[in-house]
Amino acid sequence: MTSSLAALNRWVEDVARHTQAAEVHWCDGTQQEYDALVAQMHATGGLIALNPATHSRCHLHRSHPGDVARVEHLTYVCTRERDDAGPNNHWMAPDAAHAKIDALFAGCMKDRTLYVVPYCMGPIDSPLARCGVEITDSPYVVANMRLMTRMGAQALARIEREGRFVKGLHSIGELDPERRFIMHFPEELTIKSYGSGYGGNALLGKKCHALRIASWQARQEGWLAEHMLIVGIENPQGQTHYVAAAFPSACGKTNLSMLIPPEGMRRKGWKVWTVGDDICWMQPGADGRLWAINPEAGFFGVAPGTSARTNANALAMLDHDTIFTNVALTADGQPWWEGLPGEPAFDWQGRPHDAAHGPAAHPNSRFTVSARQCPSFSPHGENPQGVPISAIVFGGRREHLVPLVVEAHDWAHGVLLGAAMGSETTAAAAGAVGVLRRDSMAMKPFCGYNFADYFAHWLSFDRPGARLPKIFQVNWFRKGTDGRFLWPGFGDNLRVLEWILGRCENTAGAAETPIGRLPRPQDLDLDGLAVDPAALNALLAVDRDGWRAELAGIGEYLDSYGARLPARLRAEQHRIAAALAAPTAPVRALASG
Ligand code: GTP
Ligand code: SPV
Ligand code: MN
pLDDT digits (tens, 9 = 90+) for 260-282: 999 999 999 999 999 999 999 99
pLDDT higher than 60, residue 226: yes
User: What is the number of the ligand closest to the CA of 207?
Assistant: 2
Q: Which atom of ligand 1 is nearest to the CA of 307?
A: 20
Stretch 163-183: mean pLDDT: 97
State the Cα–Cα distance between residues 205 and 168, nearest whole angstrom: 8
Q: Helix %, strand %, coil % for the chain, to 5?
A: 35, 25, 40
State the Cα–Cα distance between residues 486 and 534, nearest whole angstrom: 9
Q: Compute CA distances 454 → 215, 224, 440, 513, whole Å.
A: 9, 10, 10, 28
Q: Which atom of ligand 1 is nearest to the CA of 257?
A: 11
User: Regarding predicted confidence, which is higher, 590 or 68?
Assistant: 68
pLDDT at residue 1, rounded to an integer: 61
In DSSP notation, 535-558 reads HHHHHT---HHHHHHHHHHHHHHH
Three-state DSSP class for residue 91: strand
pLDDT higher than 70, residue 500: yes
Separation of CA 263 and ligand 2 centre (Å) = 31
The three-point CA angle 10-204-306 to 5° equals: 155
State the Cα–Cα distance between residues 369 and 57, nearest whole angstrom: 11
Look over the chain and give the mean of its residue pLDDT values, rounded to a whole number: 97
State the Cα–Cα distance between residues 137 and 24, nearest whole angstrom: 10
Stretch 492-500: mean pLDDT: 98
Given a contact cutoff of 8 angstroms between Cβ atoms, the answer to whether 149 and 296 are in contact is yes
Report the largest interatomic distance among the alpha carbons of the chain, rounded to a whole angstrom: 74
Question: What is the CB < 6 Å shell around ligand 2?
Answer: 70, 199-200, 206-207, 249, 278, 300, 428
Neighbours of 78 (CB within 10 A): 27
Q: Which positions ≥6 away from 240 have C-beta within 8 Å?
A: 232, 233, 234, 273
State the Cα–Cα distance between residues 116 and 8, nearest whole angstrom: 10
Among candidate residues 78, 120, 131, 251, the one labeled active-site is 251
State the Cα–Cα distance between residues 75 and 69, nearest whole angstrom: 12
Cα–Cα nearest to 120, from 210, 36, 188:
210
Residue nearest to atom 5 of ligand 2 (CA): 200
257 membership: H or E segment, kind and range = helix 253-257
For residue 559, the one-letter residue type is D
Residue length, the chain?
593
Stretch 16-45: mean pLDDT: 98
Q: Count Cα neighbours of 321 within 13 Å in the Cβ-side half-sphere.
A: 16
| Residue 152: band (very low, low, confident or very high) from pLDDT cuts 50, 70, 90 | very high
Q: What confidence tens digit (pLDDT) does each residue in 530-560 have?
A: 899 999 999 999 999 999 999 999 999 999 9
Stretch 12-19: mean pLDDT: 98
0.85 exceeded by the pTM?
yes
Stretch 309-326: mean pLDDT: 97
pLDDT at residue 583, rounded to an integer: 80
251 flagged as catalytic? yes
pLDDT at residue 569, rounded to an integer: 98
Separation of CA 227 and ligand 2 centre (Å) = 10
pLDDT at residue 586, rounded to an integer: 56
State the Cα–Cα distance between residues 560 and 572, nearest whole angstrom: 16
pLDDT at residue 530, rounded to an integer: 87
Strand pairing of 366-370 and 298-302? antiparallel
Which residues partner with 513 through β-bridges? 516
DSSP state of 208: I
Q: What confidence tens digit (pLDDT) does each residue in 323-373 have?
A: 999 999 999 999 999 999 999 999 999 999 999 999 999 999 999 999 999
pLDDT at residue 593, rounded to an integer: 40
- Tell me the CA end-to-end span of the chain in Å, nearest whole number: 61
The three-point CA angle 154-160-166 to 5° equals: 85
Q: Which positions ≥6 away from 7 have C-beta within 8 Å?
A: none
State the Cα–Cα distance between residues 298 and 278, nearest whole angstrom: 10
pLDDT above 70 coverage of the chain, percent? 98
Residue nearest to atom 10 of ligand 2 (CA): 200
**Helices then strands (H, E): number in the chain?**
17, 30
Q: What confidence tens digit (pLDDT) does each residue in 387-442 have?
A: 999 999 999 999 999 999 999 999 999 999 999 999 999 999 999 999 999 999 99
Neighbours of 512 (CB within 10 A): 15
pLDDT higher than 80, residue 584: no
For residue 136, the one-letter residue type is T
Residue nearest to atom 32 of ligand 1 (CA): 252
The three-point CA angle 423-506-440 to 5° equals: 20
Given a contact cutoff of 8 angstroms between Cβ atoms, the answer to whether 184 and 213 are in contact is yes
Q: Which positions ≥6 away from 218 have C-beta within 8 Å?
A: 224, 225, 281, 457
Question: What is the CB < 6 Å shell around ligand 1?
Answer: 247, 249-255, 277-278, 301-302, 304-305, 310, 428, 476-477, 485, 489-490, 493
Domains of the chain, earliest start first:
3-46+72-222 (3.40.449.10), 226-296+381-590 (3.90.228.20), 298-373 (2.170.8.10)
Neighbours of 506 (CB within 10 A): 10
Q: Which atom of ligand 2 is nearest to the CA of 429?
A: 2
Which residues partner with 588 through β-bridges? 512
**Substitution site in 72, 201, 230, 254 for ligand 1 pocket (most atoms within 8 Å of beta carbon):** 254
Q: Which positions ≥6 away from 95 have C-beta within 8 Å?
A: none
Q: What confidence tens digit (pLDDT) does each residue in 91-114 have?
A: 999 999 999 999 999 999 999 999
User: What is the number of the ligand closest to the CA of 72?
Assistant: 2
